[in-house]
Structure 1
Amino acid sequence: MEPYATADQVWQGAMIFARIGAVLLMLPGVGESYVPPRIRLSLALVVSLALWPVVSASLPALPVTLGGMAGWIIREVLVGLAIGALLRMFLTALATAGEVVALQTTLAFAQTANPTQASPGSTLSAFLMILGTTLIFATNTHHLFIAGLVGSYELIAPVRPLVTGDFTAMAVRTVADAFTLGVQLAAPVLVFAIIFNVASGLVGRVMPAFQVYFAAAPLSIILGLSVFTLSIGVLGTVFIDRYRAMAGVFAGGAGG
């Protein structure tokens, strides 16, 4: 190997590949189960080679023991998985919004396979998750992922101690923000459902003999989906803006 790459260069490439490969394993779109493993590994290798001249200066020297090498590799894999998990956690805002809309439109019983999650969910939730993944690539938000990979070597430098408390706090905050955003995205349908249910209750009290359920159920579905359709443009815009802001946290390290 010496005529082609020194031992230090091979070690640096392995370190970069460990973090990049772990991040791509969790990224939305790229890290889905329907993407062949060969494609993900090839992409991780290409990105690692592209980033090697940029981040090689921040990598530690080649350890003298096998245990030291394994420790560094495991550390980089854990860092990559943590970064990728944070980016995927925020995507659950769309799943939350879809479940809320499905509950309010009485469509929660319609379960379907969700290609972006391990378990099946409501049809609206699966639709919004696919919509979010499409928006990430349609708006070139995935370019921020590449910048974030470079910035992660400044925010979480390999030579610095790994602070797990910061990851835990950020993960909890990300989950809380994703749930809050999911409820906010479903707010138009929530407001409609409250007004519609109150009106249905008043009709039932005024006309006890009237079959409110049989008349209200189809109206709830039709009107609820109509409100959801009218608000889907704003829903996608708000989500992608918030998602780009979160991805920019890591990308900001590259610019700084």
Structure 2
Amino acid sequence: MISDPQGSVLAVFLVFCRIGACFMVLPGFSTARVPMQVRLFVAIGISMAATPILWDTVYPKVSGGGASFILLIFTESLIGTVFGLMARIFVLGLQFAGAILTMMIGFNAMTAPDVLEDTAENQMTNMLSFCGLLMLFMMDFHHVVLHAMIDSYSIIPIGHSPNTQQMLITLTDTAAKTYYLMLRLSSPFIIYGLMFNFGIGLINKLAPQIPVYYISTPYLITGGLLLVYWSIGAMVRQFADSFLPIFLGN
């Protein structure tokens, strides 16, 4: 028999605040294609499974209840959101790389519904985002995030005020590292687009009577798609391999 039902429920709920806030923004789980009920029950199930591991850490802080429990709900939700945002910023960077890629190869087709969200996106960016997220799931990135969430209780104990400045620094460092990574992944397409357009500009100066732009566009797209075909495997692989150094490096 449970000796303190109220304290047990409060302990599970407090664990849910940190884990549920992380799942609220975690890539893949927070997508519009996943029903909210599924997201909710997954977060509850993981919280109930993690509570026995964290019992000695969580229960002493909530056994008394009181007004301080409201502050704990806020701080725990903030901590979980930061962990989820770190992974989400990294995945959103692939959309940034896809936007650069499509612009440099001239693949400015009509936008289509996003595979993951309820927004319109270019088909090439859709494909890159989906492939990158699929690779992360194949490499069990969600296990890494959950392991980091469990370990966070020893780094940021319950009841201690989180360092908001350090949280902001962590998020900005993640965004900066992701930005440099995406520039590196899209650099072949940037070089290809600049060289192609520079060459077409020279040809246009030599023969201004010929509408070089309309003639060159199919060659620009064809060459860009061939470059995508040759390099997309390495791009997605480097993207997936960089998750651990960027996420755990902060």
What TM-score do you get using the length of structure 2 for normalisation? 0.91
Write the deviation string for residues 177-201 of structure 1: whole angstroms up to 9, x where unpaired.
Answer: 2222222111111111111112112
Letter in 1 for 2:238: V
The structure-2 alpha-carbon separation of the partners of 1:4 and 1:33, relative to structure 1 and needing over 3 Å to count, comes to: farther
TM-superposed CA distance for 1:9, in Å, is 2.0
The answer as to whether partners of 1:27 and 1:84 remain within 8 angstroms in 2 is yes
1:240 deviates by 0.6
1:123: Cα distance to partner? 2.2
Matched, 1:147 2:144: no
* Contact 1:15 1:76 survives alignment (8 Å): yes
Measured after TM superposition, the shift of residue 32 of structure 1 is 1.0
Runs of at least 5 residues in structure 1 that lack an aligned partner in the other structure: 251-256
Alpha-carbon spacing, 1:4–1:106, altered in 2? closer, same or farther (3 Å) = farther
Q: 2:230 maps to what in 1?
A: 230
Identity %: 23
The amino acid across from 1:54 in the alignment is I
Determine the C-alpha separation between the residues in 1 that align with 2:129 and 2:20. Answer: 23
**Structure 2: distance between partners of 1:63 and 1:69:** 10
Q: Distance in 2 between matches of 1:156 and 1:87?
A: 19
Partner of 1:253: none
Q: Which moved more, 1:135-144 or 1:56-65?
A: 56-65
1:20 correspondence with 2:19:
yes
Name the counterpart of 2:113: 113
2:176 maps to 176
- Map of 1:61 onto structure 2: 61
Structure 1 residues 33 and 66: CA distance shift in structure 2, 3 A: farther
Residue pair 2:174, 2:246 contacting (<8 A) in 1 also: no
- Between 241-250 and 16-25, report the one with greater CA deviation: 241-250
Q: Determine if contact 2:75/2:161 at 8 Å carries over to the other structure.
A: no
Contact 2:28-2:133 within 8 A present in 1 as well? yes
User: Which residue is equivalent to 1:91?
Assistant: 91
Measure, in 2, the Cα distance between the counterparts of 1:121 and 1:137: 22
AA in 1 matched with 2:43: A
SS where residue 126 of structure 1 aligns?
Answer: helix
Which stretch of structure 1 is more off in the superposition, 40-49 or 154-163?
A: 154-163
Where does residue 208 of structure 1 map in the other structure? 208
Q: Find out whether 1:47 has 2:46 as its counterpart.
A: yes
Structure 2 unaligned regions, length at least 5: none
Change (3 A) 1:174 1:37: same
In 2, the alpha carbon distance for the partners of 1:165 and 1:116 equals 31
**1:64 shift after superposition:** 4.2
Contact persistence 2:72–2:159 (CA under 8 A): no
Which amino acid letter does the alignment assign opposite residue 79 of structure 2? V
Question: Matches of 1:40 and 1:87 in 2, distance apart?
Answer: 17
AA in 2 matched with 1:19: R
| 1:15/1:73 contact within 8 Å kept | yes
- CA distance in 2 between counterparts of 1:3 and 1:237 reads 49
Whether 1:185 aligns to 2:175 is no
Give the AA of the match of 2:16.
F
Secondary structure at 1:108 match in 2: coil
State the 1:122 CA deviation. 2.2
User: How many equivalent residue pairs?
Assistant: 249
Distance 1:249 1:176, change over 3 A: closer
Alpha-carbon distance in 2 for matches of 1:3, 1:170 = 40
Secondary structure at 2:132 match in 1: helix
| 1:247 positional shift | 3.4
Distance 2:148 2:120 in 1: 31
Kindly indicate whether the alpha-carbon contact (under 8 Å) linking 2:61 and 2:158 is maintained by their aligned counterparts in 1.
Answer: no
